[in-house]
Amino acid sequence: MKRSIFTILMLTLVFITAKADEYWDIFYRNYLINPGINVQSKFGAGTDGKLYLAEIDYSGIYDPGITYVDVRSYEISQWTQDNTGQEGWVNLGQRLQLKMPNNESNIDFVVTADNQLYVGMQDSIFWYDSNADFWISYYVEDYIGGMMADESGRILILQSIGSNDEHHFQITEFDAGNLIPVATIDYTLPGNIQLYHRIMNEANRILMFEDNYYVSIARASTHQNYYFMGNETIGFTMLQEHFTHLNLSSMVLSPSGELIISHRMGGTPYSLALKQYNFDQNQWDDFNMQGLNDAEVYGNQLAFDKSGKLYLSYSADFNLGFLYEYNGSGWEHVGPLESVAVAHMPRIAFDNDNQLFLMHGIGSGSAPLTIRRLADPTADLNEKDIFTQKIRLFPNPVSQSLTVDLNQLGFKSGEIELEIYNSNGQLILGQNVSGAQTIIDVNNLPSGIYMLNVRNAANNFRHRFVKQ
């Protein structure tokens, strides 16, 4: 009986994986590294048209008990339907021995705008010398993670500095082994308790918007995460309220500076929570979760694409992963519900053409480490259907401002006309569209049902919306 159940489960997994592959282009798959539950591989897309993978190998094939990091690259333009494994991937430099303080730790992996590669781990940062095909190692004391590259190409990290019974966090510029202090974060918990970190935890992060840094730090010995905002001139303040989610969290900034986080809730069942910081009220507000699958959640990641569209991926119960796109009024699932089977600690990246890549799995037989590209959902559609599917309208229902998003059409000014009709068929608005995203003020329209008409020389898109 047990053998029959196992056979059914394996056949179900094979069916789900095969069905999933119909909706995704497979770029990489590895069944043999088995890195365990917490420490995960990383990947990113370069501006040079390549994917870069920093893969953690726990298999012990080479040296029992020693874990390695292998960094590889792949030319995206070389991909064909036949590549469903590791063909075409090129190893970069020597293997790096993994240094981890504990099994909740993390590696940092950064691909800069000029395609420089950095790997960070406990007390060490590695830079890839492409001319010598060699990783150069630098010792970095008190390094706790958070590596990022800003717009100017600076590499920034977090350090935890202690001296004379005092403690603070420091944003530091890493420059070929030189450590240049940038800004200091001082914070003491109520009761005069110092906030000590979890070393190299994935929740230790730095983001930047205009002149401000946004920092997330996981607290040692608890599952709490703390968020700070500030800069070297005005100092830092803690954003009110902490969250219980350890490293199972994500933090993003929108193109306009909205701070949004996702995290796993602290008590069972471990449900997903989304928050946006209200800077006027100095508090975290619930972010819209309409349309999301209400399932127990594990790894999760928010990501903005190059056009400012927000995506969320998370792994959940029943060994199913999920990818959603936010449309302004709720979340729309991308692909079938089983499209990302066994998506443990999913990760999202976008290339120069704004193609979405998703990495998931742990490198075992049942959960291979996999990198997929979201296939073009309009590939088998005719021109009219493509025109229709590439227009987004939100929110609906609407009370004040209606957004018509034409970014996916490859919009050119002057070629699109927009009209709104009331329920009696009367034209109440008509205009040429001058931007890829048009916002229409409908605040003064009476409540009711309206028809939006978007057209170019060859096609016509009509969609109802409700004015509340």
Q: Which residues contact 333 (CB under 8 A, 6 or more apart)?
A: 291, 293, 322, 323, 324
Q: Is 394:407 a contact under the CB 8 Å cutoff?
A: no
Q: Is 313:297 a contact under the CB 8 Å cutoff?
A: no
Q: Is 31:46 a contact under the CB 8 Å cutoff?
A: no
Q: What is residue 182's predicted lDDT score, i.e. its pLDDT? A: 96
**pLDDT surpasses 50 at 383:** no
**pLDDT surpasses 50 at 443:** yes
Write down the residue that tokens 């996981």 correspond to. Answer: 218
Q: Is 52:111 a contact under the CB 8 Å cutoff?
A: yes
Q: How far apart are CA 173 and CA 187, in angstroms?
A: 21
Q: Where are the beta strands (DSSP E) in 211-258?
A: 212-218, 224-231, 235-238, 243-244, 249-253
pLDDT above 90 coverage of the chain, percent: 40
Token duo for residue 151: 């717009």
Confidence of residue 432 (pLDDT cuts 50, 70, 90): confident
Greater model confidence, 349 or 22: 349
Write down the residue that tokens 């946006």 correspond to. Answer: 276
Q: What is residue 199's predicted lDDT score, i.e. its pLDDT? A: 85
Q: What angle do CA 382, 385, 391 make, to 5 degrees?
A: 140
Q: How far apart are CA 304 and CA 103, in angstroms?
A: 29
What secondary structure letter does DSSP report for 398? Answer: B
Give the largest Cα separation in the chain, rounded: 77
**pLDDT surpasses 70 at 216:** yes
In the three-class reduction of DSSP (H, G, I as helix; E, B as strand; rest coil), residue 265 is classed as: coil
Q: Where are the beta strands (DSSP E) in 176-232?
A: 178-185, 188-189, 193-194, 205-209, 212-218, 224-231
From 97-106, 304-313, 404-413, the region with the lowest mean pLDDT: 404-413
**pLDDT surpasses 50 at 451:** yes
**pLDDT surpasses 50 at 18:** no
Write down the residue that tokens 């996999």 correspond to. Answer: 370
Q: What is residue 99's predicted lDDT score, i.e. its pLDDT? A: 86
Greater model confidence, 434 or 286: 286
Q: Which of 336, 330, 322, 265 is nearest to 22 (CA)?
A: 336
Domains located in the chain, CATH noted: 16-374 (2.130.10.10), 383-467 (2.60.40.3080)
Q: What is the pLDDT of residues 32-56, one digit of tens each?
A: 887 555 668 999 999 999 999 999 9
Instruction: Indicate the average pLDDT of the chain.
Output: 82
Q: Which of 7, 17, 46 is nearest to 339 (CA)?
A: 17
Q: Where are the beta strands (DSSP E) in 47-100?
A: 50-57, 68-75, 90-91, 96-97
**pLDDT surpasses 90 at 25:** no
Q: What is residue 71's predicted lDDT score, i.e. its pLDDT? A: 98
What mean pLDDT do residues 158-180 have?
A: 90
Q: Which residues contact 454 (CB under 8 A, 6 or more apart)?
A: 391, 404, 406, 416, 417, 418, 433, 460, 461, 462, 463
Q: What is residue 64's predicted lDDT score, i.e. its pLDDT? A: 67
Bridge partners, 238 (sequence order): 228
In the three-class reduction of DSSP (H, G, I as helix; E, B as strand; rest coil), residue 198 is classed as: coil
CA dihedral sign of residues 126, 128, 129, 134 = positive
Q: Tell me phi and psi for residue 384, to 5 degrees.
A: -65, -45
